[in-house]
Structure 1
């Protein structure tokens, strides 16, 4: 495995080494692996080789970090939410403002990295799956910047929930392909994207959106997102003089969670909290809490915790948040849970809506529904902590895309008519 020094003089915040790497087969403990169609085994190995070669190349990092700074707008602020802290009545709450990235979410960190890999490999076309639409927008953005053909697979149910992002993708030049199979949500979009990749892998790079899927995607996505936690670590040391007591992130597949939590993984005194979508409640049968309620099985090319029935069939999921409406989770998060390094929380649709409104009204920040799940759980935990303790919550995206969905659930659209 190639390694670089932990930091460079030009970019002291961004570590180039790879810690907690999977084994040669892509396993994090018993989780992960590469379970894919035979046609995809060679393309996956080629991506793995291209990634390690790129990660060992200082020029790759110079270009990637230059784009993150001058195109994406990094570093994002770490904001001390004083009014939210006062309302919560406990620990000091800091928000990692990924919502301020270009395209409005953390997803652009990963698509910049994978887009550069695709270009290094000579691919002219990229495809992606998307649920909430933020990964689709970030992929379409990078494709436009690099001059690549772009096809995005999106469940028709999610298209209805996230129409602003569908329009943004089309404006960026992407072809948005509706998926009607299954529940017409994120899981089904991944299925269709993988089917297309089988038939087109010679000229196509699949920009996978979360820290799941077959090896090497869990590693790629994690590494491209660790800028979140690396920045947050340096920022909290500067602002508060010490590391946080708790770091909190929402979890669908795990991209923003791994981005914030992984850089604190070896800090035993920092509690790492993953917040899943409880939907209508964990006992309702309508939720997306794969870590809390799932069992080990294979989904989308890796062994992980997923929601399935006694016959091994994947169960339908529900969340008000399209980005968390996924029946599985990344393999490294599954390992962290099994090792006892990860704490779990779950947030219902109603609590996420309440958290969204609270942050909007007390701090003037409209969060995405995904981030609102982390906010709700974070505030519950913070309320039981001391005022001299510190919490970082990853505000993984902004809420523009969710307004129609939010107003519908609040009944405001009917009131306006």
Structure 2
């Protein structure tokens, strides 16, 4: 049977995806498209990739049965501990893979965009490891609210370039990165941090993050005797951690997939990033997907307390999962995410990233049956969000 949730040769998931790019970038994207699968699945690449994931990133990450949450919901709730990866989030799975790819293609200069700063840190980390020049574009607003990650990037030798246009967040950082790439097509590799952008990036990033669900299957089998949970839950901005957690379950409809977006101050408050609820079909950053736009096709500025979910679009795979109803899309407000973060901290001694806290908050909105087996992808740790947590902490 043909897999339904793999992209076509042109990079389409249903009507979503493709490569909508300026002509100047066509050679770069074509070079990547022609070579990425062959390189990624070559013996040499796989050997080095697996070595670095094990010895450098710290994989496999634990699949931890949360006693506190399981008791509260009368279910078995497992946390996939991506927060324990080197650099503090799932982002490094992708940057390790893409930096090896860039080296295979002979690129010497690496550019990246970042919102929460985790992808920036993960990119700066692997550039330091491989002795490559690193430039990270980051919105001015995010630079201020994610100061610890900015300091980390600089310490790792990266140049952090502020994006000063628009909402000065992730969307604008991505625009600046694309502009740079157009200006430096020969020696530069654009290391995209999520399942967004022109084909083949969404597929490539999903494949590199698929290690998450690969491990979940093996770990669940070991702990419960079954590879499949009833439900997998993950937060979605661009959606790479969700793509990784869902990947090996996409074709198996017996596994429920739940994607959780950021509702900000409320879905209809005008201050939200709940793309699937507010968006329409359009093109952003090189791919056709669902994005928040006005009647003239101008992008509506998103808002979330969480810098990593503060994005007006969603990856084309997720747009397709939404359209086909393969995944259920829920959302959580700033306050719900904060409350869920404080709860996990107090019942498990784990301080989650604000992004992951949105996934935790969705547990309250799910129709959980007694004994249900739920895997929640805890995509990152909360160090970078401590200032926000402290500002909102109620005695």
**Normalised TM-score (structure 2):** 0.97
Q: Map residues 5-404 of structure 1 onto 2, 5 A cutoff.
A: 20-86=5-71, 88-242=72-226, 243-381=228-366, 384-404=367-387
Displacement after TM superposition at 1:272 (Å): 0.2
Distance 2:188 2:336 in 1: 41
Displacement after TM superposition at 1:411 (Å): 6.8
Displacement after TM superposition at 1:367 (Å): 0.2
- Residue aligned with 1:178, SS: strand
- Residue aligned with 1:60, SS: helix
Displacement after TM superposition at 1:386 (Å): 2.8
- Residue aligned with 1:253, SS: coil
State whether residues 127 and 207 of structure 1, in contact with CA within 8 Å, keep that contact through their aligned partners in structure 2: yes
Deviations 1:298-347 (A, max 9, x none): 00000000000010000011000000000000001111111120101000
Distance 2:293 2:278 in 1: 10
Displacement after TM superposition at 1:262 (Å): 1.5
Distance 2:57 2:87 in 1: 8
Which region of structure 1 is more displaced relative to structure 2, 111-120 or 50-59? 50-59
The gaps in structure 1 that reach 5 residues or longer are 1-17, 413-417
Distance 2:124 2:54 in 1: 19
Distance 1:135 1:247, change over 3 A: same
Which region of structure 1 is more displaced relative to structure 2, 45-54 or 392-401? 45-54
Distance 1:97 1:151 in 2: 29
Distance 1:42 1:20 in 2: 27
Pairwise CA RMSD of aligned residues?
A: 1.2
Distance 2:196 2:75 in 1: 32
- Residue aligned with 2:322, SS: helix
The gaps in structure 2 that reach 5 residues or longer are none
Distance 2:41 2:169 in 1: 37
Distance 1:84 1:378 in 2: 9
Which region of structure 1 is more displaced relative to structure 2, 363-372 or 41-50? 41-50
Deviations 1:264-300 (A, max 9, x none): 1122111000000000001101100111221100000
**Normalised TM-score (structure 1):** 0.92
Distance 2:394 2:117 in 1: 23
Displacement after TM superposition at 1:19 (Å): 8.3
Which region of structure 1 is more displaced relative to structure 2, 392-401 or 237-246? 237-246
Deviations 1:114-139 (A, max 9, x none): 00011011111100000000000000
- Give the aligned partner of residue 6 of structure 1: none
Deviations 1:144-166 (A, max 9, x none): 00000000000010011100000
Deviations 1:222-275 (A, max 9, x none): 000000011011111211122211100000001000000121112211100000
State whether residues 356 and 380 of structure 2, in contact with CA within 8 Å, keep that contact through their aligned partners in structure 1: yes
Distance 1:317 1:347 in 2: 14
